[in-house]
């Protein structure tokens, strides 16, 4: 068997083990008396997910459809499996909704903060750059950015670190 065949064999074994674990978890799942009510409620919840989570919405809806089919045919094992899969997707969606909220909140704040920094600090940084040009004109040898930053810090009596100055010149 070649290397690709071995990797494929290992992959399929791993997926098989993962499926066995999933089935064991599904068998331990406690189901409510009103399974159709649960499936309907989850369907409504899935449909109300944000549009950014279209893929998860589709997966949940699909799992719920399979669960409904298994219920109608009396296949409790498959029913449990698909309810578990839908539940896991809802947990993922909950986390993804949180991430979306953080991105929206800090995305706006980050842009606002960038604008503030630019307005407040750009004039100061330009002063550092102007001083760097003066030092370059006076220097006999070419200075490194770190040496240049040290001289700027000393000349302008700055409290900022040499590293901060070096990054802005």
Decide if 137 is inside a domain: yes
Structure confidence by residue, pLDDT tens digits, 106-152: 777 777 777 888 888 999 999 999 999 999 999 888 999 999 999 99
Decide if 8 is inside a domain: no
Decide if 19 is inside a domain: no
**Cα three-residue angle 134-115-153, rounded to 5 degrees:** 30
CB-CB contact of 135 with 160 (8 Å): no
Range(s) of the domain holding residue 58:
31-168
pTM exceeds 0.75 for this model? no
CA distance 162 to 165: 5
Q: How many domains does the chain have?
A: 1
Decide if 6 is inside a domain: no
Decide if 68 is inside a domain: yes
Q: 11, 1, 67: which is closest to 40 by C-alpha?
A: 67
Structure confidence by residue, pLDDT tens digits, 20-51: 988 999 999 888 999 999 999 999 999 999 99
Residues 6+ apart with CB under 8 A from 45: 90
Q: How confident is the model at residue 104 (pLDDT cuts 50, 70, 90)?
A: confident
CB-CB contact of 82 with 66 (8 Å): yes
Burial class (CB in 10 A: 0-12, 13-18, 19+), 43: middle
Decide if 11 is inside a domain: no
Decide if 108 is inside a domain: yes
* pLDDT, mean of residues 59-66: 97
């Amino acid at each position: 068997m070649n290397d690709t065949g071995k990797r494929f064999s290992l992959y399929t074994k791993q997926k098989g083990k993962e499926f066995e674990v999933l089935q064991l978890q599904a068998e331990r799942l406690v189901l409510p008396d009103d399974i159709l009510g649960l499936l309907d409620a989850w369907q409504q919840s899935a449909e109300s997910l944000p549009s950014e989570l279209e893929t998860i919405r589709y997966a949940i809806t699909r799992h719920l459809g399979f669960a409904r089919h298994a219920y109608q045919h009396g296949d409790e094992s498959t029913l449990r499996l698909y309810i578990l899969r839908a539940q896991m997707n809802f947990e993922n969606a909950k986390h993804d909704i949180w991430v979306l909220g953080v991105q929206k909140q800090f995305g706006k704040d980050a842009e606002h903060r960038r604008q503030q920094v630019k307005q407040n600090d750009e004039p100061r940084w330009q002063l550092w750059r102007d001083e760097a040009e003066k030092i370059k004109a006076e220097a006999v040898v070419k200075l490194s950015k770190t040496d240049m930053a040290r001289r700027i810090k000393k000349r302008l009596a700055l409290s900022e670190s040499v590293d901060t100055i070096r990054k802005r010149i």
